[in-house]
């Protein structure tokens, strides 16, 4: 990445975003606006600094606090130091550039009095890097870059895979495409990518993983709806419903609409897609319009069907429920530092309420597919098993692809859980 004159602006804005996460705010609440019109952030550099710093958040605070010997550091200055340490480690910039631009960022943050302090700590880190790293290396959160409670839960749930899951959670995510079968075949689109100078690998029936991410406007036919960006793990969902032409389908937690669109690409169904948030429902409409697909889209609460349901049962219901997001943490690196162990119980209660509300909308002989992007059993097997205990007419169904319900994140996919529930005819 070229270190342009606005690196200090990117460091400034990254420090604001990372500092907000440290205070308990999510990145989804929005990146900070540039503080100075004459020094705008470079978006790629800004995103790299924010995401890279958060992926290394298990160790960067240990480093800064190990070097600061005169009490607590100003929170915003400390966030700047974390981002600066990541910038040094990334190898994208010369060391002297990072130090100089970090000092300039102090002024841009209104922390001019900290310039000498920031300069001294960064230079000390460059001198004593190996010793500083060795001092903190034994700490569990430092080794794995995840909260200790998260690591403990993975060790119990995935005794043979927990380390690989943690490694995957610290990597940049793959960029995977779903080819719209209405517009062409996967193999034909792969040839179009290669003609455009983009390399990709086949990872599913409609899925192509790019060797390097790129802006969507570089993708041939993106605006025409020939292709969508969707993780290979998420692309597993629609085929598992086995929807057939003419069926009525409910996508109960639909936004932003990727799974809904995939279902419509696979079968000519009567689709109702709902989301509790109108702004998110608008995104479903936008995605379907781009793909030239049709569905009824409403802003509605799936746990309150009496407010919107017309009484006609659905042949298929997709319940892609809100969850911890632990299977997609590499896409949202703030998640693991914002979640708390008690959140899983709250998610499980909500997930159970959604299943209870949706079950009575399912036609006899119909199928409900329960989906999370979580790797924690508390949101997956435990929720489904509890639902089946209190709902005797619900019977677990085998997954038609023959794979386990829960698949951990890996090089080609994020982590997802799928469970099919059938209602007797």
Report percent pLDDT > 70 for the chain.
96
Q: What's the burial of 259, exposed, middle or buried (CB within 10 Å: 0-12/13-18/19+)? A: buried
Could you give the dihedral angle defined by the CA atoms of residues 284, 286, 292 and 294, in that order, rounded to the nearest 10 degrees? 40
DSSP secondary structure code for residue 41 in this structure: P
Q: Residues 83, 214, 373, 388: which is the catalytic one?
A: 373
Q: What is the mean pLDDT of residues 342-353?
A: 97
Q: How far apart are CA 297 and CA 286, in angstroms?
A: 11
Q: What is the mean pLDDT of residues 221-228?
A: 98
Closest CA relative to residue 82, chosen from 145, 169, 19, 170:
19
Q: How far apart are CA 122 and CA 132, in angstroms?
A: 12
Give the residue, 38 or 391, on which the prediction is more confident.
Answer: 391
Q: What is the mean pLDDT of residues 398-407?
A: 97
Q: How far apart are CA 169 and CA 328, in angstroms?
A: 8
Catalytic site residue 83?
no
**Weakest-pLDDT range from 134-138, 219-223, 225-229, 287-291:** 134-138
| Long-range own/partner contacts, residues 402-408 (CB < 8 A, 24 or more apart) | 403/236, 405/380, 405/381, 406/375, 406/377, 406/380, 406/381, 407/233, 407/236, 408/158, 408/161, 408/164, 408/165, 408/168, 408/327, 408/375
- pLDDT of 69 reads 73
Closest CA relative to residue 298, chosen from 287, 309, 289:
309
With cut-offs at 50, 70 and 90, classify the pLDDT of residue 2. Answer: very low
At 182 the three-state DSSP class reads coil
What residues pair up with 28 in beta bridges, in sequence order? none
Is the predicted pLDDT of residue 4 greater than 90, yes or no?
A: no
**Weakest-pLDDT range from 19-33, 154-168, 303-317, 394-408:** 19-33
Taken in order of first residue, the domains within the chain and their CATH numbers are 7-143 (1.10.940.10), 175-230 (3.30.70.1170), 238-423 (3.40.50.150)
- pLDDT of 3 reads 46
Is the predicted pLDDT of residue 125 greater than 60, yes or no?
A: yes
At 209 the three-state DSSP class reads strand
- pLDDT of 66 reads 87
Contact 162, 151 (CB under 8 A): yes
Counting every residue written for the chain, the total comes to 425
Nearest 5 degrees, angle CA 43-CA 45-CA 50? Answer: 90
- At 19-72, the pLDDT tens digits run 999 999 999 876 665 444 456 668 888 999 999 999 999 999 999 988 887 778
- At 130-166, the pLDDT tens digits run 999 999 999 999 999 999 999 999 999 999 999 999 9
With cut-offs at 50, 70 and 90, classify the pLDDT of residue 399. Answer: very high
Residue with tokens 């920031």: 118
DSSP secondary structure code for residue 413 in this structure: B
Q: How far apart are CA 163 and CA 166, in angstroms?
A: 5
165 Cα distance to chain centroid: 14
At 179 the three-state DSSP class reads strand
Find the radius of gyration of the CA atoms of the chain. Answer: 24
What are the backbone dihedrals phi and psi of residue 183, each rounded to the nearest 5 degrees, phi first? Answer: -110, -10
Mean residue pLDDT of the chain comes to 94
Could you give the dihedral angle defined by the CA atoms of residues 337, 338, 342 and 343, in that order, rounded to the nearest 10 degrees? -120
């Amino acid at each position: 990445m070229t270190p342009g004159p606005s690196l200090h602006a990117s460091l400034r804005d990254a420090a604001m975003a990372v500092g907000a996460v440290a205070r308990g705010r999510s990145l989804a609440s929005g990146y900070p606006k540039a503080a100075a019109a004459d020094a705008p952030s470079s978006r790629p550099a800004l995103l790299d600094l924010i995401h890279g710093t958060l992926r290394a958040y298990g160790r960067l605070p240990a480093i800064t606090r190990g070097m600061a010997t005169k009490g607590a550091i100003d929170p915003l200055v400390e966030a700047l130091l974390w981002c600066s340490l990541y910038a040094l480690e990334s190898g994208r910039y010369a060391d002297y550039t990072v130090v100089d631009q970090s000092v300039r960022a102090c002024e841009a943050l209104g922390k001019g009095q900290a310039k000498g302090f920031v300069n001294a700590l960064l230079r000390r880190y460059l001198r004593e890097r190996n010793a500083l790293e060795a001092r903190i290396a034994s700490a569990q959160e430092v080794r794995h870059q995840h909260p200790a409670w998260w690591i403990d839960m993975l060790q119990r749930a995935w005794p043979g895979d927990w380390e690989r899951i943690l490694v995957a959670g610290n990597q940049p995510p793959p960029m995977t495409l779903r080819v719209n079968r209405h517009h062409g075949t996967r193999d034909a689109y792969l040839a179009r990518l290669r003609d455009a100078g983009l390399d990709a690998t086949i990872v599913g029936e409609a899925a192509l993983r790019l060797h390097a991410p790129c802006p969507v406007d570089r993708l041939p036919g993106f605006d025409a709806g020939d292709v969508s960006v969707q993780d290979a793990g998420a692309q597993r969902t629609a085929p598992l419903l086995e929807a057939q032409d003419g069926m009525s389908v409910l996508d109960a937690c639909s936004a932003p609409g990727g799974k809904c669109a995939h279902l419509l690409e696979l079968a000519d169904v009567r689709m109702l897609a709902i989301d509790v948030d109108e702004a998110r429902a608008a995104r479903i409409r936008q995605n379907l319009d781009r793909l030239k697909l049709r569905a009824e889209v409403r802003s509605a609460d799936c746990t309150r069907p009496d407010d919107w349901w017309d009484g006609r049962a659905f042949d298929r219901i997709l319940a892609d429920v809100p969850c911890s997001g632990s299977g997609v943490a590499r896409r949202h690196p703030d998640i693991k530092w914002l979640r708390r162990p008690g959140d899983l119980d709250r998610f499980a209660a909500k997930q159970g309420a959604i299943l209870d509300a949706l079950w009575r909308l399912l036609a006899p002989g119909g199928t409900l597919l329960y989906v999370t992007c979580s790797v924690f059993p508390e949101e997956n097997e435990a929720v489904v098993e509890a639902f089946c205990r209190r709902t005797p007419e619900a019977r677990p169904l085998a997954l038609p692809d023959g794979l386990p319900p829960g698949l951990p994140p890996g090089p080609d996919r994020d982590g997802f859980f799928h469970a099919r529930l059938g209602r007797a005819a």
